[in-house]
Amino acid sequence: MSYQDGSQGTAVENATGAPVVELVDVQRHFGATPALDGVSLSVQKGEILGIIGRSGAGKSTLIRCLNGLERPDSGSVIIEGQDIAKLPESALHPLRRRIGMIFQHFNLLSAKTVIENVALPLKIEGRGRAERLTRAAELLDLVGLSDKRDAYPAQLSGGQKQRVGIARALAARPSLLLSDEATSALDPETTRSILDLLKRINRELGLTVVLITHEMEVVRAIGDRVAVIDKGKIVEEGPVWSVFSNPAADITRRLLAGILPELPAHLAATLPPGTRLVQVDFAGNLDDGRLVLDRSSESRAFRILHGGVDYVQERPVGRFFIAVNDTADLDPFLATVRASGARAEVLVR
Ligand code: ADP
């Protein structure tokens, strides 16, 4: 296997034609702060792109540039072939309707019922009442909330509110859905159900999704591709499984901590003197994991301390920590592992 291995036909690779979104060298400074410092990105039709970064990295500024709420100092923000950075405000309104948006705090109107909230974008578009209600009812069915059509937001759980938010975002049949930390206020189980819903909508409707998050779990759950932003720059970008299995930037590794197995400190501290500690990372091919298991079963000098295999975009991504006795010959093992395409790093020699 190799980390640069081809892939199994995700939305990204299957996409054809011009990108739905293209950012070219976007700069946006606030005084001396470069919130966006030369961001270039493209999003293909039908893909889910996760943009991840720590607080202050520039995510909100990026999403505000995407929906035209913020103008870059320079660079292009091209949505469906149109550079919105150069459009006058009046021309932005119809374009914004092509973009659906969901938010961390849902932004529902508390005095309106669920179905009225969902129908609101159509009212703004000037659609007739019958059409609005038919479309809104269809969308409530899609998000599994038909029985709540006449409830008010205050009567709903967080997950139900976000379902209403999603239905509303889809009302005007957008070509792009922007998600701004849409699951950050939800518990893990509800987060999972909302992410599943977004993925289903993406696959069933072919809707392009850009989601901004600070949680790698969100990206892992539904992203096709991920872009990591730090200090206003995209520092790393690629298919999710590839970035997870072979992160290049320090910040990506830090964001991944807690998702990939880390060696518990007490294990490293109690190794007998002379023991070598090796970390093996592999992706795409389970045989690389088997290699580690085989070696540890055939020789007591190789002991698996910690680790396991997970699946990202249906590909195995694994990590093992192995203690190797001072008597064993480490180099042939490292050579075999590396020859298979996996990574092996000696943490303690
Ligand atoms: P994130 O959403 O990743 O937390 P932001 O895009 O909100 O990051 O912010 C990026 C940087 O730009 C931060 O240093 C922030 O303080 C600064 N910034 C954002 N918006 C403004 C603003 N309106 N005025 C001044 N500074 C801002």
pLDDT of 123 above 80: yes
**Assessment of whether the complete model's pTM goes beyond 0.95:** no
Q: Could you read off the pLDDT of 141-153 as tens digits, one per residue?
A: 999 999 999 999 9
Structure tokens that stand for 131 in this block:
């059409």
Q: What's the mean per-residue pLDDT of the chain?
A: 90
Q: Crossing angle, helix 188-205 and helix 158-170, to 10 degrees?
A: 20
Dist. CA 94 → ligand 1 center (Å): 27
Between residues 130 and 91, which one has the greater pLDDT?
A: 130
Strands across the sheet containing 33-43: 33-43, 21-30, 74-79, 82-83
User: 40 φ, ψ to 5°?
Assistant: -125, 130
Rounded distance between C-alpha atoms, residue 118 and residue 134, angstroms: 11
Q: Which of 196, 197, 199, 221 is nearest to 208 (CA)?
A: 199
| Residue 58 Cα: closest atom of ligand 1 | 6
Q: Write out the DSSP string of 61-129.
A: HHHHHHTTSS--SEEEEEETTEEGGGS-HHHHHHHHTTEEEEETT----TTS-HHHHHHHHHHHTT--H
Rounded distance between C-alpha atoms, residue 17 and residue 32, angstroms: 38
For ligand 1, atom 14, which residue shows the shortest CA distance?
56
Which of the listed CATH numbers 3.90.550.10, 3.40.1390.10, 3.20.20.450, 3.30.70.260 matches domain 265-348? Answer: 3.30.70.260
**Under a CB-based contact definition with an 8 Å cutoff, are residues 330 and 324 in contact?**
yes
| Residue 54 Cα: closest atom of ligand 1 | 3
Rounded distance between C-alpha atoms, residue 335 and residue 297, angstroms: 18
Structure tokens that stand for 343 in this block:
């990574």
Instruction: Return the CATH class of domain 21-255.
Output: alpha beta
Rounded distance between C-alpha atoms, residue 310 and residue 12, angstroms: 22
The pLDDT of residue 299 is 80
The pLDDT of residue 198 is 97
| Residue 57 Cα: closest atom of ligand 1 | 3
**Look-up: residue for tokens 């990108």?**
19
Beta strands in the chain (DSSP E): 21-30, 33-43, 48-52, 74-79, 82-83, 99-103, 176-180, 208-213, 225-230, 233-239, 276-283, 302-312, 315-324, 343-348
pLDDT of 5 above 70: no
Beta bridge partners of 34: 29
* Ligand 1 neighbours by CB, cut-off 6 Å: 30, 33, 35, 53, 55-61
**Element of type H or E holding 164:** helix 158-170
Mean pLDDT of 92-116: 93
Residues of the chain with pLDDT > 90: what percent? Answer: 64
| Residue 64 Cα: closest atom of ligand 1 | 6
Cα-atom radius of gyration of the chain, to the nearest Å?
A: 24
Of 30, 213, 230, the one to substitute when testing ligand 1's pocket (max ligand atoms within 8 A of C-beta) is 30
Which residues of the chain does CATH 3.30.70.260 include? 265-348
Dist. CA 212 → ligand 1 center (Å): 14
Which residues of the chain does CATH 3.40.50.300 include? 21-255
Q: What is the dihedral of CA 309, 310, 315, 321, to 10 degrees?
A: -40
For ligand 1, atom 11, which residue shows the shortest CA distance?
35
Dist. CA 52 → ligand 1 center (Å): 15
Q: Alpha carbon 14 to chain centroid distance?
A: 19
Dist. CA 196 → ligand 1 center (Å): 30
